[in-house]
Chain A
Amino acid sequence: MRKFKALLMSGVLALSLVLTACGSGGSGNSGNSGGDGLIKVGVINNPPSESGYREANVKDMEAVFSEANGYELKTFYSIKNDEQLQAAQGFITEGVDYLLISAAETTGWDEVLKKAKEAGIKVFLFDRMIDVDESLYEAAVVSDMAKEGETAVQWLLSQNLSEYNVIHIQGAMGSDAQIGRTGALDAQFNSGAMNCVVQQTATWDEAEAKKIVESVINSGADFNVIYAENDGMAKGAVAALDEAGITHGVNGKVIVMGFDCNRWALRELLAGNWNYDGQCSPFQAQIISDIIQGKTTVDSKIIINEEKGFDAATLTQADIDTYGLGE
Chain B
Amino acid sequence: MAGNIKKKFSGGLGQLTIPVIAIALLVIFNLIRDPSFFSVGLSHNNDGNIVLAGNLISIINGASELAVLAMGMTLVTAACGGQDISVGAAAAIAGSVFVKVLKTSPDISGGKVLLAFICACIVAMLFGTFNGTLVAVFKIQPMIATLILYTCGRSIAYWINGGATPTISSPIISAIGSFIPGIPIPTPVLIVVAMAIVFKLVFKFTSLELLTQSVGINGSAARLNGINSTFIKLLSFIILGVCVAVSGSIGVSRLGLINHETLLLDIEMDTILAVAIGGNNLGGGKFKISGSIIGAYVIQMLTITLYAMKVSSTDVKAYKAIVIILLVVIGSPVVKEKFGKFVSKLLDNRSKASLKGAQ
Give residues of chain A (199-249) contacting chain B, Cβ–Cβ below 8 Å: 199-208, 210-212, 214-215, 217-219, 231-232, 235-236, 239, 241-247
Binary flags per residue of B82-125, CB closer than 8 Å to A gives 1, else 0: 00000000000000000000000000000000000000000000
Of the listed stretches A48-56, A69-77, A85-93, A147-155, name the one at the interface; the rest are far from the partner chain: A48-56
* 28 interchain pairs, CB-CB under 8 A: A49-B164, A54-B164, A173-B314, A200-B307, A200-B312, A200-B313, A203-B262, A204-B262, A205-B265, A207-B251, A210-B254, A210-B255, A211-B58, A211-B62, A212-B307, A215-B58, A218-B54, A232-B262, A239-B177, A239-B255, A241-B46, A242-B178, A243-B45, A243-B179, A245-B44, A245-B45, A326-B165, A327-B163
Listed residue (A201, A241, A245, A246) with the most chain B CB atoms within 10 angstroms of its CB: A245
Binary flags per residue of A309-327, CB closer than 8 Å to B gives 1, else 0: 0000000000000000111
Listed residue (A215, A239, A246, A326) with the most chain B CB atoms within 10 angstroms of its CB: A215
Binary flags per residue of B293-323, CB closer than 8 Å to A gives 1, else 0: 0000000000110011010111000000000
CB of A326 within 8 A of CB of B164, answer yes
9 A-B pairs with the lowest CB-CB distances in the bound complex, closest first? A52-B164, A215-B307, A205-B262, A242-B46, A264-B167, A49-B158, A245-B44, A200-B313, A218-B55
B217 sits at the interface (CB 8 A): no
Give residues of chain B (154-172) contacting chain A, Cβ–Cβ below 8 Å: 155, 158, 163-167
A262 sits at the interface (CB 8 A): yes
Give the A-binding residues of B (Cβ under 8 A).
Answer: 43-47, 51, 53-55, 58, 62, 155, 158, 163-167, 177-179, 251, 254-257, 259, 261-265, 303-304, 307-308, 310, 312-314
CB within 8 A of B255: which of A51, A200, A202, A235? A235
Q: A51-B164, A55-B163 are in contact. Are A204 and B304 (CB under 8 A)?
A: no
List the A side residues contacting B55 at CB < 8 Å.
215, 218
Q: How far is the CA of A51 from the CA of B261 in the complex (A)?
A: 9
List the B side residues contacting A244 at CB < 8 Å.
43, 45, 53
List the B side residues contacting A232 at CB < 8 Å.
165, 255, 257, 259, 262
Which residue of chain B has the shortest Cβ distance to A54 in the bound complex?
B164
Q: How far is the CA of A175 from the CA of B40 in the complex (A)?
A: 38
List the B side residues contacting A205 at CB < 8 Å.
259, 262, 265
List the A side residues contacting B158 at CB < 8 Å.
49
Rounded to whole Å, the gap between the CB of A96 and the closest CB of chain B is: 28
Task: Tell me the dominant secondary structure on chain A's binding face.
Answer: helix
A146 sits at the interface (CB 8 A): no
A198 sits at the interface (CB 8 A): yes
Q: How far is the CA of A243 from the CA of B155 in the complex (A)?
A: 32
Rounded to whole Å, the gap between the CB of B265 and the closest CB of chain A is: 6
Rounded to whole Å, the gap between the CB of A125 and the closest CB of chain B is: 23
Which residue of chain A has the shortest Cβ distance to B157 in the bound complex?
A49
Which residue of chain A has the shortest Cβ distance to B164 in the bound complex?
A52
Which residue of chain B has the shortest Cβ distance to A53 in the bound complex?
B164
A interface residues, how many (CB within 8 angstroms): 42
CB within 8 A of A208: which of B179, B257, B308, B313? B313
List the B side residues contacting A49 at CB < 8 Å.
155, 158, 164
List the B side residues contacting A204 at CB < 8 Å.
259, 261-262
Which residue of chain A has the shortest Cβ distance to B303 in the bound complex?
A211
CB of B313 within 8 A of CB of A215, answer no
List the A side residues contacting B314 at CB < 8 Å.
173, 201
List the B side residues contacting A236 at CB < 8 Å.
255
Q: How far is the CA of A212 from the CA of B165 in the complex (A)?
A: 21
Binary flags per residue of A171-202, CB closer than 8 Å to B gives 1, else 0: 00100000000000000000000000011111
Rounded to whole Å, the gap between the CB of A262 and the closest CB of chain B is: 6
Give residues of chain A (232-290) contacting chain B, Cβ–Cβ below 8 Å: 232, 235-236, 239, 241-247, 262, 264
CB of A55 within 8 A of CB of B255, answer no
Rounded to whole Å, the gap between the CB of A170 and the closest CB of chain B is: 9
Q: A326-B164, A327-B163 are in contact. Are A245 and B46 (CB under 8 A)?
A: yes
List the B side residues contacting A327 at CB < 8 Å.
163, 166-167
Rounded to whole Å, the gap between the CB of B88 and the closest CB of chain A is: 12
CB of B163 within 8 A of CB of A326, answer yes
Q: How far is the CA of A235 from the CA of B256 in the complex (A)?
A: 9
Q: How far is the CA of A178 from the CA of B257 in the complex (A)?
A: 22
Q: A215-B307, A241-B46, A242-B46 are in contact. Are A207 and B262 (CB under 8 A)?
A: yes
Rounded to whole Å, the gap between the CB of B176 and the closest CB of chain A is: 13
CB within 8 A of B165: which of A199, A203, A214, A231? A231
CB of B164 within 8 A of CB of A55, answer yes
